[in-house]
Chains A and B, each alone.
Chain A
Amino acid sequence: MARVKRKNKTSIPSKYILLALTGVCVLLMFGSFTFGWVSGPVGDAASYVFIPMQRGLTTVGNWISDKTYELANLKNVMKENEELKTQVDQLTDELNTQKLEQYDTEDLRALLALDEGYSEYNKVAASVIGKDAGNWFDTFLIDKGSNDGICEGMNVITGRGLAGIITEVGSNYAKVRAIIDDMSSVSGMVLSTSDNCMIKGDLQTMDERQMITFSNLKDTDNKVSVGDQVVTSYISSEYVQGLLIGYISEIHVNSNNLTKSGLISPVVDFEHVKHVLVITDLKTTTQDQEE
């Protein structure tokens, strides 16, 4: 029957094409979910067309947003602000490194080799060229790829602290998942007490209060307080240790009375992130040494 129909119409009915394409898509989803397929050569080919244009347009977009920003604020105030900001960045960076080093002198910490501040990591600078097409997730593209020695799993920072992690690499672009993305989770550590916690991005808290959540904090001595710095933990399998994530701004005890959770305000201004640094040192996990 179908054959006769096809001969008469000389083209396949659209529902069969839809069905076939659905099959292909489902297969792709299954493949990328279970075997971690990435776009590979297709993505590379597409990137050669899109990346330069995205880069250009982002520059235009940045220019426009800068201009509107300038109009809203006085120009010199902004300049001063910028200067102060870089100073604050520098100082927080310094403070952070120093704090790390200070705590490191304690015996326990010496074992964990926490003395590597960010300055000791090798970094590559990159620009943000595009952001997620929807409003649900916070992923962005940067203009450096495997040609520049970037590979999957590298951490991305700004001058202030941790911004995200690279989840996919093309030859001249890389996909970064920000730590405020709803699917992101980072193993963090409160710097003052070195208690570990899980830091998860959350669209809702990020939207309402510009904050991300942390949970599973075991603070038995009740020493962690609002304003404490949170950095990436040494037990994290994906993030190198000691990168500043943010400051605790709210703590409450969970109903199990054992752990605490709350909110962290991230140090990176994700709304205006334009330039990032990629740490090219990968975290190498030695699972059997820990615990």
Chain B
Amino acid sequence: MRRKITVFLIVLVCFLLQTTLFQSISFLTVAPNLLIIVTASFGFMRGKKEGMYIGLLCGVLVDIFYAQILGGYALLYMYIGYMNGFFRKLFFPEDFKLPMLLISASDFIYNFMIYFFLFLFRNRLDFPYYLSHVILPELVYTLLMMIVLYFIILKINRRLEEIERKRAAKFVS
């Protein structure tokens, strides 16, 4: 329960920051994608199922407030969370390279999917342009934000796991 509430709060704060503060201080008209960081991090830290649920939550929020059709972003975020879950076995908290790689890949796939379904299908064919003007700037900015946000999430997760372990130990004894 404690975990659920904490995770919900993290998602909520990130969603709010992403749609308000970061939009008004965005530079080069590009804002970072904090929700991807949250979804992907919980995916590879906690596994497929949790990544999936958190992805779904993020996606549903974006869908409700900003999407034209419901369900699209939910689907996208959910799969990203799930896919990141496959890398749980390779994940070590001390290693910074894997999270960076996974979050970059997630952000790239996320934006590529949006381009593919919502732009390419409407005859916007100039992919190199969109790559260099939307996808890559967002990727770089997201990675910059990740340096801060990832460590916060890591710390919160570690603390939660500690509490859970203590509780479990209490139950056994």
Partner-B contacts on A (CB < 8 A): 14, 17-18, 21-22, 24-29, 31-33, 37-39, 42-43, 46-47, 49-50, 53-54, 57-58, 60-62, 64-65, 68, 129-137, 139, 141, 167, 173, 175, 177, 182-183, 203-204, 207-208, 271
Contacts and interface: CB of A to CB of B under 8 A. Distances in A.
11 contacts: A17-B49, A26-B71, A26-B75, A32-B71, A49-B12, A61-B22, A129-B20, A134-B62, A136-B114, A136-B119, A271-B29
Contacts of A21: 52, 56, 78
A173 B119 CA distance: 27
Interface SS of chain B: helix
A60 B71 contact: no
Contact of A64 (B18, B24, B75): B24
Given A18-B78, A132-B66, A65 B25 contact: yes
Contacts of B25: 61, 64-65, 68
**Most chain B C-beta atoms within 10 Å of own C-beta, residue among A53, A62, A130:** A130
Given A50-B65, A131-B20, 20 more contacts: A18-B78, A24-B71, A26-B75, A27-B71, A28-B70, A29-B69, A29-B72, A32-B71, A37-B70, A39-B64, A46-B64, A57-B21, A131-B19, A132-B23, A133-B33, A136-B134, A139-B66, A167-B68, A177-B68, A204-B129
A135 B52 contact: no
A220 to B, nearest CB: 27
Contacts of A28: 70-71, 74
Nearest to A136: B114
B49 A54 contact: no
Interface SS of chain A: helix
A175 B65 contact: yes
A50 B16 contact: yes
Nearest to A58: B20
Given A14-B52, A204-B126, A182 B71 contact: no
Contacts of A57: 16-17, 20-21
Q: Across chains A and B, which 5 residue pairs bring their CB atoms closest together, nearest first? A: A28-B71, A61-B24, A57-B20, A29-B71, A131-B23
Given A57-B17, A57-B21, A203 B130 contact: yes
**Most chain A C-beta atoms within 10 Å of own C-beta, residue among B15, B16, B19:** B19
Interface string B23-51: 11100011101010000000000011100
A206 to B, nearest CB: 9
B70 A22 contact: no
Contacts of B15: 50, 133
B33 A39 contact: no
B66 A25 contact: no
